[in-house]
Structure 1
Amino acid sequence: MTTLAPVTTPTLDAVRDRGALRAVVSRGIRGLSMPTATGTWTGLDADVARAVAAAALGDPEAVQWLPSDPADRLEPLYERTAELSVCNLTWTLGREAHRPVLFAGVTCYDGEGFLVREDSGIEDPGQLAGRRVAVQRGTTSIANLAAWYGRRGLSVEPVEYATPAQTLAGYASGECAAYVLDRTALAGERAALPDPQAHRILDTAISREPMAAAVRDDDAQWYRLCRWVLQLLLSAEHHADEAGPGGRSRALAEAAALAGAHGAAIGLDEEWAARVLDATGTYAEIYERNLGAASGLGVPRGLNELWTRGGLHYAVPLN
C-alpha cells in the first residue's frame, strides 16, 4: 500500500490546536454519561468520546465534557462549541434532515420504556392510560407515547421536565405514575433512587431508539474519522470472538494493524487503532463495564450483541 500523508480536516486541526475534544454528554445518567465524585466521566457514551480522543489526540482523557439538557444536545455542534455529541441521542430522519448534523453510527440500540413502582400492580403500559407520566423535554418521548397509545385509542398525560434529575424527582415524588425514557437509560435512573428494588422497568418497549454519535455535517473527514473509531470497537470484538480466548491478544493486534494501515486516509497515524483499543477495549468491554453485570446495572446486551449472536451490531470489515 502506498504511504500517504495524513489528510487534513478543519475539525481535527481545531481539536489538535486546542489539545482537547469537546464532547456533549448528559447531565448525569449512570451507564451512559455520568461524572464520579472526583469529576471523572463514566459510561458508554463517555467511553466513545474517549475512543475518539485517543485516536485524534493520543490521549483518551483529553476531553472537555459539555453536560447538556436533552433539548440542547445538538446545538453545540452547529454553534461550533463542540465536535461530538454522545448524549443518549436517538438517530432520526427529522433530526438529521432539519439540522446541520450527521450521525456517525449507532452506539446503543434501545427502545423507550416505563419505570414504575413495584407495588403499583402495573404490568403493561396500557394500564397507565389516563395517568401522568414523567418525560424529559427535548426527547422523542411525547411523540412515541402519542403514537403507541393513539393506535390503541388510549392516552396518557406527559409531564415535561428540563433535566434528567428533575424528571427522576418528578417520578420519585409521586407526581407521576411512571418515568418514560430509553430502557437502557432507565436502568441507570432506577439505580439512582433510594430503594431501586422498589421500582422496575416494564418489559414492553414502545419505540425504536438507535442512540448514536453525532457530528456537524460540514466536515466529511471528521465524520469519517468518528464513524470508523466506532466501527473499530465492533470489528475488534468480532476479531476477538473468531479467534477465541487463546487468540484474543493476537486478534486484537491484527485488527489494530488492519485499521491502522488506513490511518493517513482519515487524518491519523498508523497507531490510532491500537491507542483506541488500549484506552477503551472493544465494544463488548465498554458495554460490560458500563451497562453489564460488572456495572451493577445488569442490562442484557440483547440487540446490542454482534449479529453473530443475534444482535444488530454488524462489524464492517477493516481491510
Structure 2
Amino acid sequence: MTTGAQNTLDAIRARGAVRAVVSQGIRGLSLPDGRGAWTGLDADVARAVAAAAVGDADAVEWLPTDPAERLARLVSGAADVATCNLSWTLGREASQPVLFAGVTCYDGEGFLVRAADGVSRPEQLDGLRVATQEGTTTAGNLAAWFGARGLRVEPVAYPTPAEALAGYAEGACAAYVLDRIALAGARATLPRPEDHTVLETAISREPMALAVREDDPAWFRVCRWVLQFLVAAEDSVHEQGSRTAAEGAAGLAGKHGPALGLDEDWAHRVLDAVGTYGDVYERNLGAASGLGVSRGANALWTEGGLHYPLPLH
C-alpha cells in the first residue's frame, strides 16, 4: 500500500498506466468491445484520470473484478482507482480505508422483467425469485423495500452479471435486480430487448462514485478534480452556449495543475480525450449509445439534475 503525498501519482507515472477496477462487463458503464477496448461511462472516467495523470487517455490497465472484491482489490494496492458502478455509502467509507472522490452517475436499483408477464410494479413480484449479483447491497435493499410493505421476494445470487442475466433470461427468476442504468445495458444484450422492460420504480439510492485509497490525499484531490472538471466543462458550455466555453474552463482549471502535481495542460487533455460530462453521458448512455437512458438526476443542476460543479477559480 502506498503512503505519503504524491506516491500514487509517482508510481502511476513510473508504471506508465492507471490501474482501474471496472465491472466484469456492463454495457454503458464498463464493457470491452469486439476489439477488447473498454467502453462506457466508468471506462471514460478512468480514461479522463489517465489523461490528466499520465498524459495518455489509453494508459489504463483494466482490472475487471466481481462486486465482492472491488474494494479489496483497491485497498490491497493492486489498483489505483475503482470506477465500477460502485455506490458511495457510509458503511463502505467507514469500514474500509477508502475515500470516494465524487459521484460519477446517480442511479437506483430496479427490476428487469418480461413484458409478457404483465408486471408493471415491484409489488407484483411478491413471493417470486429475483436474480441478483453476489457481493452487492441488493439483498438488503430488497428486504428493506419489500419488508416495509409486508411483502418479500427470494433473492438468487449469481457470481457475475452475465450469470445473473442468464438466470433471469432462462426463466429461473421472474426479474433481474440491478442499478436501473445497468439494467438498460443488460436489456440491450438480450436476443429480443423489446420483450423485456425496466420498471420505472427504483427501490434504493445508488450514487455510483469513483473510489481511491485513503492514504494519499494528493491522489484523492487529482481524481476529485478530474470529475469536477468534467461537470464544470459541461456547465460552462450550457451557460455560455458555445463549445469553446469548455476550452475556457480547461484553461482556468489548468492553472492549478502544478499545485495538484499535474501540468497546466491536464484539463485540455481530459477534454480532448473524453469531452465534457454531457459528452460522456450521451456517448455511453444517451440516444447516441442506443440505450436512450434519460439524464434525469444526472442532468446539470440548472436542468433539474444533481450535478453541481465546484468553482474552478
Partner of 2:155: 158
Residue 83 (structure 1) aligns with: 80
Question: What residue number does 2:228 align with?
Answer: 231
Q: CA deviation at 1:184?
A: 0.2
Give the secondary-structure state (helix, strand or coil) at the position aligned to 2:248.
helix
Give the letter aligned to residue 191 of structure 2. Answer: P
1:219 maps to 216
The residue that corresponds to 2:286 in the other structure is: 292
State the SS of the aligned residue for 1:314. coil
Secondary structure of 1:214 counterpart: strand
Q: Distance in 1 between matches of 2:236 and 2:91?
A: 35
1:29-73 deviations in Å (ceiling 9; x for gaps): 000000011110000000000000000001000000000111111
Shift of residue 153 of structure 1? 0.7
Counterparts of 2:255 and 2:5, CA distance in 1 = 17
> 1:245-265 CA deviation, whole Å, 9 max, x = no partner?
xx321x112101110000011
Q: Secondary structure at the match of 1:229?
A: helix
Counterpart residue number, 1:4: none
- Structure 1 runs of 4+ with >6 Å offset: none
Q: 1:192 aligns to what?
A: 189
| Structure 1 residue 283 corresponds to structure 2 residue 280 | no
Describe how 1:126-205 pairs up with structure 2 within 5 A.
126-205=123-202
Report Cα offsets for 1:88-130 as digits up to 9, x if no partner: 0000000110011100000000000000000001110000010
* Residue-by-residue CA offset, 1:179-235 (whole Å, 9 max, x unaligned): 000000000000111111100000100000000000000000000000000000000
Q: Tell me if structure 1 keeps the 8 A contact 2:5–2:216.
A: no
| Superposed displacement of residue 8, structure 1 | 5.6
> C-alpha separation between the residues in 1 aligned to 2:163 and 2:208?
22
Give structure 2 stretches of 5+ with no counterpart.
none
CA distance in structure 2 between the partners assigned to 1:123 and 1:211 by the alignment:
26
One-letter identity of the residue aligned with 1:302: G
Shift of 1:75: 1.1
The percentage of aligned residue pairs carrying the same residue is 68
Question: 304, 310, 318: which one pairs with 2:312?
Answer: 318
Post-superposition CA distance 1:131-160 (Å, at most 9, x none): 000000111110100000010011000000
Whole-angstrom CA distance in 1 between matches of 2:70 and 2:259: 29
Within the alignment, does 1:248 sit opposite 2:247 as a pair?
no
Residue 38 of structure 1: which of 35, 38, 60 is its match? 35
Q: 1:197 and 1:253 mapped to 2: Cα distance?
A: 41
Q: Taking structure 2 as the reference length, what is the TM-score of the superposition?
A: 0.98
Paired amino acid for 2:222: L
In the alignment, does 2:258 pair up with 1:264?
Answer: yes
Q: 2:217 is matched by which residue type in structure 1?
A: A
**Is the Cα contact below 8 Å between 2:108 and 2:205 reproduced in 1?**
yes
Matching residue's letter, 2:162: A
**Structure 2: distance between partners of 1:253 and 1:233:** 11
Equivalent residue letter for 1:179: Y
Amino acid paired to 1:317: P
The answer (yes or no) to whether the contact 1:110–1:208 under 8 Å persists in 2 is yes
Give the CA RMSD over aligned residues: 0.9
CA contact (8 A) 2:286 2:294 kept: yes
Paired residue for 1:62, among 59, 67, 71?
A: 59
Q: Which amino acid aligns with 2:293?
A: V
Determine if contact 1:8/1:267 at 8 Å carries over to the other structure.
no
Letter matched to residue 137 of structure 1: E
Q: For 1:76 and 1:273, how far apart are their aligned partners in 2?
A: 28
Residue 74 of structure 1: SS of its match in structure 2?
Answer: helix
Structure 2: how far apart are the matches of 1:150 and 1:199? 26
For 1:252, give the aligned amino acid: A
Question: C-alpha deviations, 1:74-95, integer Å up to 9, x for none?
Answer: 1111110100000000000001
